């Protein structure tokens, strides 16, 4: 299975609350009129400039092992390794919001519209995550159609650069997935252009394989420990 996924802009527009939280304003803290107006303007620009697109390709464990190993720089204790080794289905994916929104953010910073630029950057980051979620949901629907997913299964995304999986794996991921077809390029530092792009693997399997403690050495450098929320969401699927 391989396909380019068409994604409606309205399905990935972030909420006002998400934009404000991206600015370090937690719910339910009250915000002033100017802050709300900036967030609304950022969302308007998001709708005008973002062009969400995704690509997904199912791979075997042996194919993904090559991608995971990358340049051989992974942390020895990465939890991604035992998770994919006990998985049932794997799919590489990449998503992007396109170049126009990234150029708009850069232009706003250049003309010293720092507040609006920062708001739009937060909106784009959240929008990129929602685009990745849309592709994950597309793949999940394919698994359900094939009767390959039930209440005992879970599904999660992982990206190079996180959880001990070295970012150099991007090179082999790109070799197999070829996300250039949706306008994503990879530079010498393994960073993607446009910058508001996400790539990685979608893993499906028994729920228990996703549950791990955040006690690895690299967990100490994680500011959010967001994996806790994501693991809990899998257990509730």
Q: Is the pTM of this model over 0.85?
A: yes
Over the stretch 183-217, which tens digit does the pLDDT of each residue have?
A: 999 999 999 999 999 999 999 999 999 998 888 88
Over the stretch 42-73, which tens digit does the pLDDT of each residue have?
A: 999 999 999 999 999 999 999 999 999 999 99
Please say whether the beta carbons of 167 and 67 come within 8 A. Answer: no
Mean pLDDT on 130-144: 96
pLDDT at residue 2 is higher than 80: no
User: So what's the pLDDT on residue 128?
Assistant: 98
Please say whether the beta carbons of 87 and 149 come within 8 A. Answer: no
Domain ranges of the chain: 2-235
Q: Which residues of 130-141 are buried (b: 16+ CB within 10 A; e: fewer)?
A: bbbebbbebbbe
1 pLDDT band, cuts 50/70/90, is: low
Rounded Cα–Cα distance for residues 2 and 50 (Å): 24
pLDDT at residue 230 is higher than 70: yes
Higher pLDDT, 216 or 134: 134
Mean pLDDT rounded to a whole number for the chain: 94
Higher pLDDT, 160 or 235: 160
Q: Name the DSSP letter for residue 179.
A: G
Mean pLDDT on 143-171: 96
User: So what's the pLDDT on residue 138?
Assistant: 95
Higher pLDDT, 25 or 1: 25
Higher pLDDT, 221 or 206: 206
pLDDT at residue 121 is higher than 90: yes
118 pLDDT band, cuts 50/70/90, is: very high
- How is domain 2-235 classified at the architecture level of CATH? 3-Layer(aba) Sandwich (3.40)
- For 77, what's the count of Cα atoms within 13 Å in the CB-facing half-sphere? 8
- Give the lowest-confidence range in 84-88, 126-130, 210-214: 210-214
Task: Say what percent of the chain tops pLDDT 70.
Answer: 99
Give me the sheet containing 2-6, strands edge to edge.
2-6, 53-59, 89-96, 197-206, 153-158
């Amino acid at each position: 299975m391989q396909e380019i996924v068409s994604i409606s802009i309205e399905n990935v527009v972030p909420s006002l609350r998400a934009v404000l939280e991206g600015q370090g304003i937690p719910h339910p803290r009250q915000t002033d009129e100017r802050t709300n107006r900036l967030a609304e303007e950022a969302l308007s620009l998001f709708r005008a400039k973002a062009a969400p697109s995704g690509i997904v390709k199912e791979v075997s464990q042996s194919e993904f092992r090559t991608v995971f190993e990358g340049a051989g720089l992974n942390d020895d204790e990465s939890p991604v390794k035992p998770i994919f080794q006990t998985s049932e289905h794997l799919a590489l994916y990449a998503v992007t919001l396109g170049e126009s929104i990234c150029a708009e953010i850069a232009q706003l910073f250049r003309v010293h519209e720092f507040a609006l630029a920062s708001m739009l950057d937060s909106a784009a980051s959240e929008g990129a995550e929602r685009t990745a979620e849309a592709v994950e949901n597309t793949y999940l629907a394919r698994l359900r159609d094939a009767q390959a997913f039930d209440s005992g299964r879970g599904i999660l995304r992982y990206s190079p650069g996180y959880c001990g999986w070295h970012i150099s794996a991007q090179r082999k991921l790109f070799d197999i997935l070829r996300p250039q077809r949706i306008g994503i390029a990879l530079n010498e530092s393994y960073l993607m252009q446009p910058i508001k792009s996400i790539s990685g693997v979608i893993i499906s399997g028994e729920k228990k394989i996703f549950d791990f403690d955040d006690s690895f050495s690299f967990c100490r450098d994680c500011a959010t420990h967001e994996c806790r929320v994501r693991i809990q969401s899998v257990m509730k699927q």
